[in-house]
Structure 1
Amino acid sequence: MEGRLVLMWVLILCITTVSVHCKYHSDSVSYVPKEKKTHLLFFLHDTISGKKASAVKVAHANLTGDDTNPTPFGSVFVFDDPLTEGPEPTSKVIGNARGIYVSSSQDATLTLVVYADFGFTTGKFNGSSISVFSRLPLTPAQPTEEVAVVGGRGRFRMARGFAKHKTHDFNAITGDAVSEYEVTVVHY
């Protein structure tokens, strides 16, 4: 009996001291990437009217009200808007913004909740994008609003920051708009 007890203790010690290695084992090396700060300025052209609309309403609330409002409360839009260097429609296209916005205010102030991916197709940021998810109140009294940069891909991997949104041109009848975005983003 005593021999079995000694043998059991020897086996337990052997099992606990054997190192375990598998093909997924690695020794991690601490690496802290260097943060970069990038400033961008571009214009977004959102067209919800006409035959070449870049934003379309895909859902709306079943409410009665002002049918002349192009973005009534509860409306959901999907968009694929061009991003340009300047505010003119003929300006050089540098990418596109794709995403969703929802008209989310019941009062007179137009407020959108926006999810957008600003993808760049030219220059040193070609193939990279910045993701924005934020509330965007559009008030004449406050011409510049901020939205949150919550991520990115490519050269903007793990991005965070903010984008200042300023309405450059807005047609209240059609709902078409040109917006200026001044973006400050920190990324790796």
Structure 2
Amino acid sequence: MKLSKIIFITAVSVATVAVILLALISPVVHRKPQRNQTKPWLALSLYIQPQIASPNTQPVARPDAGAFVFHHILTEGLENTSRVVGKAQGFIIPIEHFAQSAFNIIYLTFDTPEFSGSLSVQATHVGHNDKEELMVVGGTGSFAFVRGLAVFAETDRQPYDVNAMYHVKLRLRVPNRAQPIPG
């Protein structure tokens, strides 16, 4: 019986050493977990250009009435001949009583080979500043579920002018699209 105990203990010891060695020097490749193939942050720099009104169109902004309503174009560059990448539309009431209004949203709509969809920018803290930092609160299409920051800076010094041009810098957090949607 003593010999069978020795054989049993030896077999268990050899098996334990084999498992430990296989775990340490296994031919299986040890990889770091792969990140999502898309970049988690997206930075864009665009310009909001006023549309040239035709004789048949009504004015799109009424800052004298207490509301700033606009429908402009988004371009890649500062020049009015730059490539048009989308539209910028919004309805902002810069009066103190309506500063927290849910209507104060700027929609940036994109239609390019790279991006198709829209961004919603919340404009609850709009003042008469040369530069405004606003929150991106969502989007559609290529921008579905994004969050981030939108910095609007006037390229000329005429606040709430219908013909003012704005430089928009977007820093967007793109959600991990590799995760399945529960449901």
User: What is the TM-score of this pair, normalised by structure 2?
Assistant: 0.60
| Pairing partner for 1:131 from 114, 120, 124 | 120
Cα 1:173–1:149 change in 2 (3 A) is closer
| Pairing partner for 2:66 from 60, 69, 74 | 74
Q: Is the 8 A contact 1:55 1:81 kept in 2?
A: no
Cα displacement string for residues 25-65 of structure 1 (whole angstroms, at most 9, x for unaligned residues): xxxxxxxx9572100000002359774869624xxxxxxxx
Within 5 A, what are the aligned runs for 1:143-158?
143-158=130-145
Per-residue deviation, 1:91: 1.4
2: CA distance, partners of 1:173 / 1:186 = 29
Per-residue deviation, 1:104: 1.8
Instruction: Report the counterpart of residue 99 of structure 1 in structure 2.
Output: 90
Cα displacement string for residues 116-158 of structure 1 (whole angstroms, at most 9, x for unaligned residues): 1111111311x2211101232232xxx3220110001112111
Q: Is the 8 A contact 1:54 1:80 kept in 2?
A: no
1: CA distance, partners of 2:118 / 2:160 = 32
Within 5 A, what are the aligned runs for 1:35-54?
36-46=40-50, 51=55
Task: Tell me the percent identity.
Answer: 26
Between structures 1 and 2, the one with greater helix share: 2
Aligned residues between the structures: 133
Cα displacement string for residues 72-124 of structure 1 (whole angstroms, at most 9, x for unaligned residues): 362252x2210001122221101111231223259xxxxxx841111111131
SS of the residue aligned with 2:114?
helix
Instruction: Report the counterpart of residue 121 of structure 1 in structure 2.
Output: 111
Instruction: Report the counterpart of residue 16 of structure 2 in structure 1.
Output: none
User: What is the TM-score of this pair, normalised by structure 1?
Assistant: 0.59
SS of the residue aligned with 1:72?
helix
Instruction: Report the counterpart of residue 159 of structure 1 in structure 2.
Output: 146
Structure 1 segments unaligned to the other structure (5+ residues):
1-32, 58-69, 107-112
Between structures 1 and 2, the one with greater strand share: 1
Cα 1:175–1:82 change in 2 (3 A) is closer
Q: Is the 8 A contact 2:67 2:91 kept in 1?
A: no
Cα 1:144–1:122 change in 2 (3 A) is same
| Pairing partner for 2:165 from 178, 181, 188 | 178
Cα 1:48–1:137 change in 2 (3 A) is farther
Structure 2 segments unaligned to the other structure (5+ residues):
1-34, 98-102, 176-183
Paired letter, 1:180? H
Per-residue deviation, 1:173: 10
Instruction: Report the counterpart of residue 31 of structure 2 in structure 1.
Output: none
Aligned Cα root-mean-square deviation (Å): 3.1
1: CA distance, partners of 2:148 / 2:77 = 22
